[in-house]
Amino acid sequence: MLFNLFEGIGPRRFGLLLKFFGSAKAAFEAPEKEWREIGLGESLVEKFLNFRKEKFDIDSYFLRLEKLKIRAICSEEENYPKLLKEIDDYPPVLYVQIDGNFDIFAKKTIAVVGTRKVTGYGRQVTEMITEGLATAGLVIISGLARGVDEIAHKTTLRVGGLTVGVLGCGLDLVYPPEHKELAQKIVESGGALVSEFPLGKPALPGNFPARNRIISGLSLGVVVTEAAEDSGSLITASCAAEQGREVFAVPGPITSPLSKGTSELLKKGANLVGGVEDILEELGIEGRREFKKRTIDFSQLNEQERKIMEILEKESLSVDELCRRLGWESGEVGSLLSLLEIKGIVKNLGDGSYGV
């Protein structure tokens, strides 16, 4: 535990210390001479020796964890996620905020990740895929970030599923801060928040690539629903491939820069996702219900509403594109869309586009 609180010794260096000294206790208590012989660098060794002399108040730290209902699990403990321990650089200590037992980590898990700047199309496919996976009984893993991650968590909660948020900071510092309520709902619903970073660790840019390997490490596979060519979700997909996990990608419009990342994954051999059935089949999950596209009762619509729905049933479109295809004024189309949204037939996808 004390090594986790000392900044400078990550999973790989900790593994080397265990090999050299035999145990964490022996490493922490080893004489100064032996520490200087390891070859970690003079600066790091001096930093560690000073940290050891300060005698960190571990009792007060555990009281803080208890107050926040956070468990610190060492990799040797039975509750440590077995799937995560299969990866080469699993964290020696995992912080978990959970309201209940750890059965959630024994269930089948799948990660859903993607861009922070999600389009209407990305929102639609993320909701569709996540809903199918969650209602099929899979635990949805994501990173609590803006965009696709947020949609994946919220969709899972909406359908009564379980979800796990993996943070790139200490669990006492939810990032982004506007997702504090979402994080609380995840825990209250039977899900969990996870981090390898100790309390008080801020969300620094360098933390997120490390966070991404945990997202994939906790999952049987990673689904990327929408991503630009520089998206951090591609790091998660890369980690998944290195860890021997399945990688899934949803194809997108070739005109969209936010489809370039998923297109690149498909070129490299990722599993193409045309629907949630593709994922369930690849993972060998059987005996689940079939996921059918929602049917629309056109008898309840007037003629104008039917004409709009005949188009939106096939694809999501912007108001301007709908006006062009129908030859109607924007005010008329906007009013009809608002009525259809109130009836729960169409969804505003957030970027001026509508879909079912």
Residue 81, in any domain of the structure: no
Report pLDDT digits (tens) over 24-75: 777 767 777 777 777 677 777 777 777 766 766 778 888 989 999 999 998 8
Evaluated on CA atoms 204, 207, 209, 211, the torsion sign reads negative
Q: How far apart are CA 151 and CA 157, in angstroms?
A: 10
Would you call 31 exposed, middle or buried from its count of C-beta atoms within 10 A (0-12, 13-18, 19+)? exposed
Report pLDDT digits (tens) over 296-326: 666 778 888 888 888 887 777 888 888 888 8
How many folded domains does the chain comprise? 3
Residue 294 has pLDDT above 70, yes or no: no
Residues ≥6 apart with Cβ < 8 Å to 280: 132, 133, 136, 288
- Most confident segment among 24-38, 78-92, 302-316, 341-355: 78-92
Residue 293, in any domain of the structure: no
- Asked which of 219, 254, 282 is the last residue of a domain, the reply is 282
Tally of helices (H runs) and strands (E runs) in the chain: 16, 12
Q: What is the pLDDT of residue 63?
A: 92
- Indicate if 207 and 262 belong to the same structural domain: yes
Question: Residue 16's domain spans which residues?
Answer: 1-56
- Indicate if 259 and 115 belong to the same structural domain: yes
- Indicate if 268 and 145 belong to the same structural domain: yes
To the nearest whole percent, how much of the chain has pLDDT over 90?
A: 54
Residue 110, in any domain of the structure: yes
Strands 317-318 and 347-348: unpaired
Quick one: DSSP state of residue 289? P
What is the rounded average pLDDT of the residues 329-347? 85
Q: What is the pLDDT of residue 355?
A: 78
- Asked which of 251, 282, 313 is the last residue of a domain, the reply is 282
What pTM did the predictor assign?
Answer: 0.78
Residue 96, in any domain of the structure: no
- Indicate if 246 and 317 belong to the same structural domain: no
Residue 92, in any domain of the structure: no
Residue 93, in any domain of the structure: no
Q: For residues 114 and 147, is the Cβ–Cβ distance under 8 A?
A: yes
Q: What's the mean per-residue pLDDT of the chain? A: 86
Q: For residues 316 and 283, is the Cβ–Cβ distance under 8 A?
A: no
